[in-house]
Amino acid sequence: MVNFKKFKIFAETEQALKAAELFSLEIKDRTGTEPSLCSKDEANFLFVADDEISRDGYKIDCSKDSVCISASGIRGFIFGFGMFLRKIVPVCGVPVLVEDISGSYNPDKVIRGHQIGYRTTPNTYDAWSYDDYRRYYLDMMFFGTNTVEHIPYERGVSKRNRLMKYDEEEFLVRASSMADEFDLDVSLWHPNNDGETVEFAAERRGRLYETVPRLDVVFPPGGDPGEFSADEFVLRCKEISKALKKVHPNAQMWPSAQQPHSQPAWGEDFIAEMEKQPDEIDGVITGPNHAFDLETLRRRLPSKYPIRLYPDITHNVRCEYPVHFDRDDWHFALTTGLSRECTNPRPREYRLIHRLTRRYVVGSVSYSEGITDDVNKMVWADMDFFPDCDLRTTLLDYARLFFYGADPDEIADGILALELNWQCDPAENPTIDRTFETFELLNSKYTFLADNWRFLQLLMRAKCDWVLRHRRLFELNLIRLAEKEIKSGNLVTAKEILDADYDEQYKKERADITALAQKLFALIGLQSDIENYCADNWERGAILETIDLPVTDRKWLLGRLDTAYNSTDPVSYIKKIINRNKVRSDEYYFSVALNGLEECGVLQNGEIYMNFQGDRPNVNTGEMPVAMFKVYDNLTFKCKVGGLDYNGDYKLKITYMSKKSDSSAHHKITANGYIIYEGAQFGGEKDEEFDAAMLAPGFETASYVIPKSVIQNGCIDLEFSEPDMGVMFSEFRITHE
């Protein structure tokens, strides 16, 4: 293979020369030496034009003495030299290819992009300069990205925050121009606004589109946000499409089949409009809050319209693809401390999602809110280009490209380990300690990564996982010791135990997280809290807002101990508290957070929403036991229960979120098909004393009788349902009546 002690570059055309200049900067960054331009005969690295190659394709020819990249334009050249950069390592300071990369390369999907909108919501982008965006454009292109999606004013006015260096639409114009330099397609996520007439909406957008140098696609979401009926939504899209194509004749209109929450029939109405096959619409997008699952949409939508996927690769909870999306069982301690938008490499899981979706779409532009999903972006884009790519190979490329000089195997394995950290209860997962040790070793071994934001955010995640695991281990042990004292009536001793402080290593690692957050803000604008770094809110990557929230019942028990002293019988009161979740052997207790949906013994209907409460700083204040952290939210819930051997009626007590509709009249609960309640939410018998002692504010219980006659040899199939609001509950008990 070629040994590049000195790069001598030949560029055949103007676009080849532009690519050569970009490539030279990459090589200088890695070696400290800028390559020289020379004649074709002298060159060992060549950029050659070939009009026979598609815009998204490229060809690489490696010989003993040289590498030649052929492409039809700047886009293909960047893809080509990006592949080269993915495959080099330094040997004695000299870049060396790890394998022969000769071949012709063409992507599987025609659309391969990411949304990187400049607005207040992201955890990073709003702090960026034009140079930061330009750098990130190239980084994404090295993994085959051909589309960037931007966002104008969301409601026709600026929402500029103190971090933003530019007005949003001033930025949009420049960002579009920069994208055009690299022949990146520009898509615009542009929601409709309430209060605008169709004519005014089209006219205002048309004026904006005139100012944008390059615009290839406009994407108006049907919902999330959006509340227009399907017929009006499609009408607006058609009129906006006309305004768009007046100034950008080749641009396309791609509305999304995302359904407004308030309109359950919206999806059917949308299909009816699309069956009229309006020519103003070129394709349809689907993503979060979709009207139909992907397969159904492809079956129902006229074949004239291709589908683009809008996958959410940035969020972990309360989203389309929560961690362990097929079972939604991410442990509440991790969900609490890391929240919705932490650094989240999930390569294996997104590979599965990609495999489940790719047969129905022509490509994707992901939903992203910053750099916390950086690994996911590159993995997803690589799969859009090479659908059967080996996942570890992609991560090795990621490591060689962005951690040049570090052992790529160590980096790739560290990233894979971070995903494994999220299996099960962190207290039961020693992988977290090994991952932490891996990143500590990498940190000391590769000191040149000290200012590498990609490495530092992975290091911070490893430390966060470690802190959550060890806090949980420490506090669970305190709770066990304190409960022993409570059972003996020693409440003062129990409180002293629960008040114990963390050890010095815990304090050091926790302090390191704060220091890393500060450094990441300085390096790349990552906003880890609201006050210091201007995070949009606590769930927008602001990990410092959630990392210290309770992940055990320690704080809740301390609060209950304080309450106990004001009761007539403190010891009896607190004994009831520590036995809160305990039932007899022929009774049953279920908590969505503690038990998980797998224990129900049956798959739930539809796409459930887990309304997680534990990471909400205004909710998880110590007044909520961990058993209530997860709120199941769906139209139905089913569970199989056995072992109910008591010779009498049972009582079913459900803990609901206190959110109900006066119009609801069909809240139904059945046991073995027998209706034990049907009527308004929530019905049943109230227990205010229990609620005050055992529940967090905003929740209430209701109890119902399960007659002995409906129980079959101790077994029941339990079902809760409500056709409009759905059932929102965190736990239930089946106890002796």
Complete DSSP assignment for 210-247: HH-S---EEE--SSSS----HHHHHHHHHHHHHHHHHH
Owner of token pair 């030299």: 81
Q: Is the pLDDT of residue 3 over 90?
A: no
- State the Cα–Cα distance between residues 371 and 453, nearest whole angstrom: 9
pLDDT single digits (tens) 504-561: 999 999 999 999 999 999 999 999 999 999 999 999 999 999 999 999 999 999 999 9
- CATH code for the domain in which residue 319 is found: 3.20.20.80
Q: Which of 191-205, 478-492, 495-509 has the lowest mean pLDDT?
A: 191-205
Whether 730 and 621 share a structural domain? yes
Is 575 a member of any domain? no
The confidence score (pLDDT) of residue 552 equals: 99
How many other CB atoms are there within 10 angstroms of residue 94's CB atom?
Answer: 13
C-alpha separations of 440 from 371, 405, 450, 665 in Å:
22, 17, 12, 57
Q: Is the pLDDT of residue 662 over 90?
A: no
Whether 390 and 485 share a structural domain? no
Task: Choose the final residue of a domain: 105, 136, 166.
Answer: 105
Is 221 a member of any domain? yes
The confidence score (pLDDT) of residue 101 equals: 98
The confidence score (pLDDT) of residue 195 equals: 82
Whether 520 and 641 share a structural domain? no
Sheet holding 636-641, edge to edge: 636-641, 716-721, 667-671, 674-679
Is 0.75 topped by the overall pTM? yes
Task: Choose the final residue of a domain: 570, 589, 615.
Answer: 570
> In total, how many domains does the chain have?
4
Whether 548 and 466 share a structural domain? yes
pLDDT single digits (tens) 321-333: 999 998 899 999 9
Is 71 a member of any domain? yes
Question: What is the sign of the dihedral through the CA atoms of 432, 436, 437 and 441?
Answer: positive
Cα angle vertex 418, ends 413, 423, to 5°? 120
Over residues 619-641, mean pLDDT: 98
Residue from 470, 382, 394, 393 nearest 426 by CA: 470
- State the Cα–Cα distance between residues 673 and 677, nearest whole angstrom: 11
Whether 34 contacts 7, CB under 8 Å: no
Residue from 662, 673, 659 nearest 706 by CA: 673
Task: State the residue range of the domain holding 56.
Answer: 8-105
Whether 100 and 123 share a structural domain? no
Q: Is the pLDDT of residue 729 over 70?
A: yes
Both tokens of 614, joined, read 């534990």
**Percent of the chain predicted with pLDDT > 90:** 95
The confidence score (pLDDT) of residue 2 equals: 66
- State the Cα–Cα distance between residues 43 and 36, nearest whole angstrom: 9
Is 410 a member of any domain? no
Whether 276 and 388 share a structural domain? yes
Strands 88-91 and 94-97 come out as antiparallel
Whether 590 and 529 share a structural domain? no
In terms of Cβ atoms closer than 10 Å to its own Cβ (0-12, 13-18, 19+), residue 367 is buried
Owner of token pair 């999606």: 149
DSSP 312: B
The confidence score (pLDDT) of residue 270 equals: 98
Whether 395 and 427 share a structural domain? no
Q: Is the pLDDT of residue 628 over 90?
A: yes
The confidence score (pLDDT) of residue 1 equals: 60
655, β-bridge pairs: 701, 731
Whether 363 contacts 110, CB under 8 Å: yes
Q: Which band of pLDDT confidence, cut at 50, 70 and 90, is reported for residue 194?
A: confident
Q: Is the pLDDT of residue 666 over 70?
A: yes
Whether 38 contacts 32, CB under 8 Å: no
The confidence score (pLDDT) of residue 210 equals: 98
pLDDT single digits (tens) 275-290: 999 999 999 999 999 9
pLDDT single digits (tens) 359-402: 999 999 999 999 999 999 999 999 999 999 999 999 999 999 99
Whether 218 and 159 share a structural domain? yes
Amino acid 649 reads: D
Is 394 a member of any domain? yes
- State the Cα–Cα distance between residues 710 and 644, nearest whole angstrom: 11
Residue from 189, 216, 244, 245 nearest 55 by CA: 216
Question: What is the sign of the dihedral through the CA atoms of 591, 595, 597 and 602?
Answer: negative
The confidence score (pLDDT) of residue 6 equals: 93
| H/E run at residue 454 | helix 453-487
Residue from 635, 684, 637, 674 nearest 264 by CA: 635
Both tokens of 622, joined, read 């110590």
Q: Which band of pLDDT confidence, cut at 50, 70 and 90, is reported for residue 265?
A: very high
Q: What are phi and psi of 700, to 5 degrees?
A: -155, 155
Whether 494 contacts 561, CB under 8 Å: yes
- State the Cα–Cα distance between residues 631 and 592, nearest whole angstrom: 7
Task: Choose the final residue of a domain: 369, 404, 439.
Answer: 404
- CATH code for the domain in which residue 647 is found: 2.60.120.260
Over residues 617-630, mean pLDDT: 98
Whether 26 and 170 share a structural domain? no
Over residues 86-95, mean pLDDT: 96
What are the DSSP calls for 529-579, one per residue? -STTT--SSTTSS-GGGTTTS--SSHHHHHHHHHHHTTSSSHHHHHHHHHT
Residue from 82, 41, 43, 44 nearest 62 by CA: 44
The confidence score (pLDDT) of residue 223 equals: 94
The confidence score (pLDDT) of residue 118 equals: 98
| H/E run at residue 80 | helix 74-86
pLDDT single digits (tens) 470-486: 999 999 999 999 999 99
- State the Cα–Cα distance between residues 472 and 489, nearest whole angstrom: 25
C-alpha separations of 666 from 215, 321, 621 in Å:
49, 30, 34
Q: Which band of pLDDT confidence, cut at 50, 70 and 90, is reported for residue 157?
A: confident
Q: Which band of pLDDT confidence, cut at 50, 70 and 90, is reported for residue 664?
A: confident
- Count the helix, strand and coil residues of the chain and give each as a percent rounded to the nearest 5: 40, 20, 40
Report helix angle 198-211 to 230-247, nearest 10.
30
Whether 125 and 30 share a structural domain? no
Q: Is the pLDDT of residue 463 over 90?
A: yes
Is 3 a member of any domain? no
Is 481 a member of any domain? yes
- State the Cα–Cα distance between residues 366 and 368, nearest whole angstrom: 6
The confidence score (pLDDT) of residue 143 equals: 99
C-alpha separations of 475 from 320, 433, 479, 485, 502 in Å:
32, 17, 6, 15, 9
Whether 127 and 232 share a structural domain? yes
Is 142 a member of any domain? yes
Say which residue, 628 or 2, is predicted with more confidence: 628
